[in-house]
Structure 1
Amino acid sequence: MLVEEIMKTDVITMKPTETIGKALQLLNDHHIRHLPIVDENNYVIGIVSDRDVRDASPSIFDDSEPEEFENEIQTIMSHPVITVHPLDFVEEVASIFYEHEIACVPVTKEERLIGIITEKDMLYTLIQLTGTNVQSSQIEIKVRNIPGILPKVTQVFGKRKVNISSVLIYPYKPDSRYKILVFRIQTMNPMPTIEDLKEAGYEVLWPNMPGMSS
């Protein structure tokens, strides 16, 4: 999946000379948490979060006219800004979120802002990629870590004409000679398929219910 498929294109931005007070108003009015700061050519030169704005705002107990609201937003923006391209893969962007501990990234093309991705967008995309947003059953299988094992396992599902919503693969930590295949299939009764898998010699780790043959 590509960034351009999940990014938001209606991005609220600010110019660097606009005020912290206006930033606070924009964040509240649009119920957003981040504001890219762009120059006259729509190049991203900074970014501010709702936390940045709150930290720079005066106390709610201050009854005087707060001068802090009149400070320019560029005085509190973070820069330089990590950006991604619309044709980057979402899976690669997820690692950027993790490695840099950030909550959003602007999307640029030819260095100009065209969209934004937030951690909420990433979480929803993960839900879609794993198939948990549709009614389905999950089956986890321990298999040998050898080439060609995935199509062999999916043949078992094909015999029952079961529709596969998603497939995930991750290492079996106790023994690198094996890996775990996680299937989500569009049926509320996975038992016949599980029995087929066991008859074919595969070890089903989940579901592992009492009374199931091993």
Structure 2
Amino acid sequence: MLVRDYMTRHPLMADPDMSVVEARRFMGENNLRHLPVVGEGKRLLGLVTRQTLLVDPGRLGSLNVWEIADYLSRLTLKDVMVPADEVITVGPDVPVEEAARTMVEHRVGCLPVVDENIVIGIITEVDLLAHLAEMMAAGVPAVRVTVRMPDVRGELAKLVTAVSAQGWGILALGGAPAPRKPGYWDAVVKIRGIAQKEVVTALSQVEGHEIVDVREA
């Protein structure tokens, strides 16, 4: 599960001389929130977002309405873009979870995907959320159970063994540290084609495990 598998390939891009007015229209027409700015050979020069296209009122000072219109008409992406050396990027062979960690760490909504500084794609928070939904089989009818267990070796194997012993197949499986419960891990398992009551009965017998949530999802 690498960035190259979930990124948008051949994303729409812009020339640094595109006017801010034109870029706003272009992004609106194409429902874009992020737009890489590239030069010859798709070399990354910068990045603009809907936020960076908002003109700081302080720039306008005491200009009259005609002067403001003229100023805005001459403003180009190279005047407002985040320059390439400040843009957080990612390579195509990076695991998606590392891309997600990078976005959280830097509080950015997208990562241009580059290969030797050539833009080959873009991955956004929406792409990563879509990946999470796919991993956890969101929208597929099944019993979804959250099981809390000690965060020690072998506990997840006990859960999987309990499911397998019933002859059930696992549709999706994920996990994370239990919130506000140090030393414990919450595993989420989705099982299709089995009644919720049967799942609860079987998994309640696993020693040291606690079912903290169960639902049809």
Q: TM-score range by the shorter chain?
A: 0.7 to 0.9
1:72 aligns with 2:79: no
User: For residue 5 of structure 2, what is the aligned residue in structure 1?
Assistant: 5
- Per-residue deviation, 1:121: 1.2
User: For residue 213 of structure 2, what is the aligned residue in structure 1?
Assistant: 206
What are the residue-to-residue correspondences of 1:48-127 with 2, within 5 Å?
Answer: 48-55=48-55, 66-67=69-70, 68-79=72-83, 80-127=86-133
Query: In the superposition, relative to structure 1, how do residues 56 and 144 fare at CA in structure 2: closer, same or farther (>3 Å)?
Result: closer
User: For residue 24 of structure 2, what is the aligned residue in structure 1?
Assistant: 24
Which deviations, in whole Å up to 9, do the C-alpha atoms of 1:111-165 show, x marking residues without a partner? 2100011221122112112222322221122223221222221111112332212
1:138 aligns with 2:141: no
Which deviations, in whole Å up to 9, do the C-alpha atoms of 1:60-104 show, x marking residues without a partner? xx6888221222210000122111111111111111121111111
Identity of aligned residues (%): 24
Query: In the superposition, relative to structure 1, how do residues 132 and 64 fare at CA in structure 2: closer, same or farther (>3 Å)?
Result: same
Which deviations, in whole Å up to 9, do the C-alpha atoms of 1:33-71 show, x marking residues without a partner? 111011113111210011222336999xx6888221222
Separation of aligned partners in 1, 2:73 and 2:143 = 53
SS at match of 1:179: strand
Which deviations, in whole Å up to 9, do the C-alpha atoms of 1:150-182 show, x marking residues without a partner? 222111111233221222222244341x32222
Query: In the superposition, relative to structure 1, how do residues 188 and 64 fare at CA in structure 2: closer, same or farther (>3 Å)?
Result: farther
Let me know the Cα RMSD of the aligned residues: 2.5
TM-score normalised per structure 2 = 0.84
- Per-residue deviation, 1:203: 2.5
Tell me if structure 2 keeps the 8 A contact 1:56–1:76.
no
Tell me if structure 2 keeps the 8 A contact 1:156–1:193.
no
Which deviations, in whole Å up to 9, do the C-alpha atoms of 1:171-213 show, x marking residues without a partner? 244341x3222212223622212211223433222239xxxxx
Unaligned runs of 5+ residues in structure 2 are none
Tell me if structure 1 keeps the 8 A contact 2:3–2:93.
yes
1:174 aligns with 2:188: no
Matched positions, count: 205
Query: In the superposition, relative to structure 1, how do residues 28 and 206 fare at CA in structure 2: closer, same or farther (>3 Å)?
Result: closer
TM-score normalised per structure 1 = 0.85
User: For residue 35 of structure 2, what is the aligned residue in structure 1?
Assistant: 35
Query: In the superposition, relative to structure 1, how do residues 175 and 49 fare at CA in structure 2: closer, same or farther (>3 Å)?
Result: closer
Letter in 1 for 2:210: E
Query: In the superposition, relative to structure 1, how do residues 105 and 175 fare at CA in structure 2: closer, same or farther (>3 Å)?
Result: closer
Tell me if structure 2 keeps the 8 A contact 1:14–1:35.
yes
Letter in 1 for 2:214: P
2:164 to 152, 158, 162: 158
Tell me if structure 2 keeps the 8 A contact 1:45–1:81.
no
